[in-house]
DNA sequence: ATTAAACA
DNA sequence: CACTGTTTAATA
């Protein structure tokens, strides 16, 4: 039954079903069922059995049947899983077609690296299969004369392929480590680094740069999902540490109601931090939006320090919450925090710091954002997300001749009362824009937007609950509000 | 899972 | 500023 399902679903869901060459193959399969495969498989494990049946119907490869079968197995496995990923299943199907086009024996997955439709994932899977199969046969002492016949087809590997596969395996192992991609992994492997432990030993630190080293230090921690209560505990810790003048809140995924978070994101404001920079350029027209970024030299701005870098971060470091820095910006800090747990187990500051030194405990990604008090509403929207939703807000503002950013909602105003020439009547916006933002003779001024509600109101939209701020909300809006154009930028 | 494009 | 590498979004 599963076999039928496999080829059936594959055939039905594919536009290539009518491919005449496939009909030919199907006929062929009927006349010569499985015969050349009799010796090509070792112990008939269940999956292999099923998959070979499946493939015997349609997908027949002269040299690479084993790989085709393997891919079909993966496809089926994906389809039968609890939460099937259509695209992943499809990717396996695509790979099958790609392999069918290869008219020579494939020794290792590496032979497929240039083939369109076969990516690094499948290459790795094929190699893993070959290695496992190889080990399996050796264990069983099956390298006897009977099996030697099929060595050239599949099964036992020649020494050269074996080494290639082992090397490739270490590379893809290292590739899994966050912050390390295929290139770095290759460098490391060439230097003799074989696994995570080797890398942690520190012998290869010189090959890593920037964030890579830090991410490595917390490998196994940073990719862990964060529970809501863990974020709340960090929040509590921060509030206790920073004192009453600070306003600290959890934003991002937490505020959107996610059960588990990929990072802890906090918005902080303080009465002393009030600087709101003006938007640089008068306009960002969708057409020529590739505008060059303003020539503001980065140093002049970053030279200035603010509460975040002078007070907040140093304090939380001293208190044994923050462990390492990943990146800094003028108003934000991203890094690693050690989860303090509930108050009862916070323990002593010194102990926490020594734990951090030993990488003892649970470490998670965290980002801190210092926002001006008057911009709390807009910053809240931006930092809560998600990106689609914020983009939509920006677009709505633009439609009304306004500008939205993390500092607020801005209106273009011209000093002189002289009307600007009508250049381009903004498409669907029936509202009279205060003035034309394309003129050079004006400036952005902030409209009251201290709370989220202010902004929603100004943009003529209902308050959107944080948990609804995602793509589905936007598509709902676009479908139901017929007059408005798509709210998402193309 | 793959790919192309965006991002650092 | 180009280059390299990493992350993200789309895919039917």
pLDDT tens readout for residues A321-344? 999 888 888 888 888 899 999 999
Within a domain: residue A32? no
pLDDT at A215: 80
- Report residue A463 as tokens: 């308050």
pLDDT at A348: 96
Domain that holds residue A205: 176-217
Cα separation, A227 vs A92, in Å, equals 33
Within a domain: residue A28? no
CB A104 within 8 A of CB A63: yes
Q: Which residues contact A360 (CB under 8 A, 6 or more apart)?
A: none
CA distances to A214, A358, A385 from A466, rounded to whole Å, are 32, 38, 8
> What's the whole-number mean pLDDT along residues A315-323?
95
CA(A477)–C1'(B7) in Å?
A: 29
Statement: the CB of A183 is under 7 Å from strand C: yes
Task: Determine whether A125 is an active site residue.
Answer: yes
Which of A156, A190, A217 is the last residue in one of the domains?
A: A217
Report whether pLDDT(A292) > 70: no
Query: Dihedrals φ, ψ of A198, to 5°?
Result: -55, -40
Within a domain: residue A166? no
Residue with more model confidence, A321 or A392:
A321
Report whether pLDDT(A203) > 60: yes
Which of A168, A193, A217 is the last residue in one of the domains?
A: A217
Torsion of CA A243, A246, A250, A255, to 10 degrees: 130
Among A125, A215, A365, A411, the one annotated catalytic:
A125
Cα separation, A451 vs A374, in Å, equals 9
Query: Dihedrals φ, ψ of A326, to 5°?
Result: -105, -40
> What's the whole-number mean pLDDT along residues A161-168?
88
Cα separation, A216 vs A303, in Å, equals 30
Nucleotide nearest to A85 in CA–C1' terms:
B1
Statement: the CB of A180 is under 7 Å from strand C: yes
Which of A217, A240, A271 is the last residue in one of the domains?
A: A217
User: Does residue A292 sit in the same domain as residue A343?
Assistant: yes
CA(A387)–C1'(C8) in Å?
A: 12
**DSSP state string for A38-65:** TTT-SS--HHHHHHHHHHHHS---SS-H
Strand C footprint nucleotides (protein C-beta < 7 Å): 4-7, 9-12
User: Does residue A402 sit in the same domain as residue A415?
Assistant: yes
DSSP H helices in A44-119 = 46-57, 65-80, 86-101
**DSSP state string for A418-436:** PPPP-----SS--S--SS-
Q: Which of A109-113, A214-218, A343-347 has the highest mean pLDDT?
A: A343-347
Statement: the CB of A2 is under 7 Å from strand C: no
User: Does residue A251 sit in the same domain as residue A393?
Assistant: yes
Within a domain: residue A277? yes
CB A19 within 8 A of CB A129: no
CATH number of the domain to which A438 belongs: 3.30.460.10
Within a domain: residue A456? yes
CB A117 within 8 A of CB A165: no
Statement: the CB of A190 is under 7 Å from strand C: no
> What's the pTM value of the predicted model, to 2 decimals?
0.71
User: Does residue A383 sit in the same domain as residue A465?
Assistant: yes
Within a domain: residue A384? yes
User: Does residue A338 sit in the same domain as residue A211?
Assistant: no
User: Does residue A180 sit in the same domain as residue A309?
Assistant: no
Q: Which residues of the protein are close to the nucleic strand B, CB under 7 angstroms? A: A 74, 85, 87-88, 90-92, 94-95, 116-123, 125, 327
Statement: the CB of A387 is under 7 Å from strand C: yes
User: Does residue A193 sit in the same domain as residue A280?
Assistant: no
User: Does residue A386 sit in the same domain as residue A251?
Assistant: yes
């Amino acid at each position: 039954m599963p076999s039928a399902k496999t080829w059936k679903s594959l055939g039905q869901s594919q536009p290539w079903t009518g491919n005449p060459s496939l009909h030919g193959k199907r006929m062929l399969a009927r006349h010569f069922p499985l015969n050349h495969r009799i010796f090509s498989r070792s112990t008939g494990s269940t999956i292999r059995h099923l998959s070979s049946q499946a493939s015997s119907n349609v997908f027949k490869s002269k040299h690479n049947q084993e790989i085709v079968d393997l891919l079909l197995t993966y496809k089926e496995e994906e389809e039968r899983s609890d939460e099937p990923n259509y695209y992943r299943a499809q990717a396996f199907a695509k790979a099958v077609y790609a392999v069918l086009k290869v008219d020579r024996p494939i020794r290792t997955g590496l032979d497929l690296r240039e083939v369109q439709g076969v990516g690094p994932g499948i290459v790795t899977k094929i190699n893993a299969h070959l290695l496992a199969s190889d080990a399996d046969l050796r264990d069983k002492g099956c390298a006897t004369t009977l099996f030697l016949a099929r060595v050239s087809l599949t099964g036992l590997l020649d020494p050269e392929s074996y080494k290639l596969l082992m090397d490739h395996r270490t590379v893809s192992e290292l590739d899994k480590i966050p912050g390390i991609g295929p290139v770095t992994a290759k460098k490391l492997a060439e230097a003799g680094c074989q696994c995570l432990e080797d890398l942690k030993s520190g012998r290869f630190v010189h090959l890593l740069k920037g964030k890579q080293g830090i991410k490595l230090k917390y490998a196994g921690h940073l990719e862990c999902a964060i529970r809501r209560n863990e974020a709340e505990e960090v929040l509590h810790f921060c509030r206790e540490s920073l004192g009453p003048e600070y306003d600290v809140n959890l934003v991002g995924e937490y505020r959107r109601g996610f059960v588990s978070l990929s990072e802890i994101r906090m918005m902080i404001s303080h009465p002393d931090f009030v600087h709101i920079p003006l938007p640089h350029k008068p306009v960002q027209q969708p057409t020529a939006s590739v505008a060059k970024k303003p020539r503001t030299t980065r140093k002049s701005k970053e030279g200035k320090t603010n509460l975040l870098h002078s007070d907040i971060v140093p304090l939380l470091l001293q208190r044994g919450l923050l462990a390492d820095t990943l990146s800094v910006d003028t108003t934000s800090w991203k890094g690693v925090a050690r989860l303090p747990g509930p108050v009862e187990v916070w323990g002593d500051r010194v102990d926490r710091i020594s734990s951090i030194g030993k990488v003892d405990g649970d470490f998670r990604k965290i980002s801190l954002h210092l926002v001006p008090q008057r911009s709390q509403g807009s910053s809240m929207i931006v930092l809560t997300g998600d990106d689609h939703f914020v983009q939509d807000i920006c677009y709505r503002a633009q439609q009304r001749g306004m500008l939205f950013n993390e500092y607020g909602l801005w209106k273009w105003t011209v000093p002189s009362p002289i009307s600007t020439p009508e250049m381009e009547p903004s498409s669907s916006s029936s509202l009279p824009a205060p003035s034309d933002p394309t003129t050079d003779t004006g400036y952005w001024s902030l409209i009251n937007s201290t709370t989220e509600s202010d902004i929603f109101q100004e943009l003529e939209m209902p308050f959107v609950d944080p948990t609804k701020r995602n793509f589905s909300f936007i598509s709902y809006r676009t479908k139901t509000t017929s007059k408005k154009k798509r709210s998402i930028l193309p």
